[in-house]
């Protein structure tokens, strides 16, 4: 089984393609997307995506807007912001709006994987807690 199911969003197609190859090789299940809108579409299609790697600066819907949408629609999905240096502030802004973390381009692949793992773990933990809560609820009802 893959380490995590990841949606990789960046408007730079070669970057997405290469990263997809490299990350897939490192046991990540990657779904590529090239814009904010496409990312939302992919999330809608695949409800098992755990982590979104989101570029901050994109034409059209940018990373921050996409982040807000994602957090609104899929609160359990963790988002890692990916940024060029010029948008460090917006990355911080993203953190405040509920992103899991941010990374600077070009980033170390291993570092990225560890972040993704953490994010996935956090997501699963959340999910587990929810399941537990539900179970408690259900068991509580039974009692």
Partner 1 sequence: MNPGSHKKDPYYNSLTRKMILTVISVSFTPMILVSGAILYQFHFSYHEKVRAHLEELVKKHKQNIDYFLNEKLGDIRFLAQNSEFENLCQESYLEHQLATLQQELDPVFVDLGMVNAKGRQIAYAGPFKLGKAQYSDAEWFKQAIKSQYFISDVFLGLRGLPHFIVTVRKTFQKEHWVFRATIDFMAFNNLVENVRIGKTGFAFIVNKEGKCQTKPCLDIIPSKSNYMSLLQNGKRDIDKIYIVEAVDDFGKKNIYASAFLKSGNWMLICQQNKSDAYSDLYRAKKVAGLIFLLGGVGIITMAILLSRRMVSHIALADREKDMMNQQVIETGKLATVGELAAGIAHEINNPVAIMVEEAGWIQDLLEEEEFQEGENLEEFQRALKQINTQGKRCKEITHKLLSFARKTDSRIQVVQMNDLIDEAIGLAEQSAKYSKVVINTNLEENLPFIQASQTEMQQVFLNLINNAVDAMDSKGGGTIDITSRLEEENILINFADNGPGIHRNNLARIFDPFFTTKPVGKGTGLGLSICYGIIKKMGGEIDVKSVIDEGTTFSIRIPIPKGRLN
Residues that bind partner 1 (CB under 8 A): 12, 14-15, 18-19, 21-22, 25, 57, 84-89, 104-107, 109
Quick one: which of 124, 82, 121 has its CA closest to 99?
Answer: 82
Task: Give min distance, CB of 12 to partner 1, in A.
Answer: 5
Residue 113 in contact with residue 23, Cβ under 8 Å? Answer: yes
27 Cα distance to chain centroid: 16
Least separation, in Å, of the C-beta of 139 and partner 1? 47
Beta-carbon contacts of residue 76 (< 8 Å; ≥ 6 apart)? 123, 126, 127, 130
Residue closer to partner 1 by CB (options 109, 130) is: 109
Nearer to partner 1, 61 or 103 (CB): 103
Phi, psi of 62 (to 5 degrees): -90, 180
CA distance between the termini of the chain: 37
Rounded to a whole number of angstroms, the minimum distance from the CB of residue 103 to partner 1 is: 11
Kindly state the smallest distance separating residue 8's Cβ from partner 1, in Å.
Answer: 12
Residue among 96 and 142 whose Cβ is closer to partner 1: 96
- The residue among 2 and 107 lying less far from partner 1, judged by its C-beta, is 107
The residue (of 105 and 124) whose beta carbon lies closer to partner 1 is 105
The minimum distance between CB 24 and partner 1, in angstroms, equals: 10
């Amino acid at each position: 089984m893959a380490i995590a199911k990841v949606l990789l969003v960046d408007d730079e197609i070669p970057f997405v393609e290469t990263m997809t190859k490299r990350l897939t090789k490192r046991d990540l299940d990657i779904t590529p997307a090239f814009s904010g809108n496409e990312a939302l579409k992919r999330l809608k299609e695949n409800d098992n995506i755990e982590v979104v790697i989101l570029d901050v600066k994109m034409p059209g819907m940018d990373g921050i807007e996409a982040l807000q949408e994602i957090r609104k629609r899929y609160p359990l999905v963790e988002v890692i912001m990916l940024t060029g240096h010029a948008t460090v502030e917006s990355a911080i802004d993203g953190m405040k709006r509920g992103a899991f973390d941010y990374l600077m381009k070009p980033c170390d692949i291993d570092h990225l994987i560890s972040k993704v793992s953490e994010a996935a773990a956090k997501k699963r933990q959340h999910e587990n807690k929810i399941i537990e809560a539900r179970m408690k609820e259900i068991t509580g009802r039974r009692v």
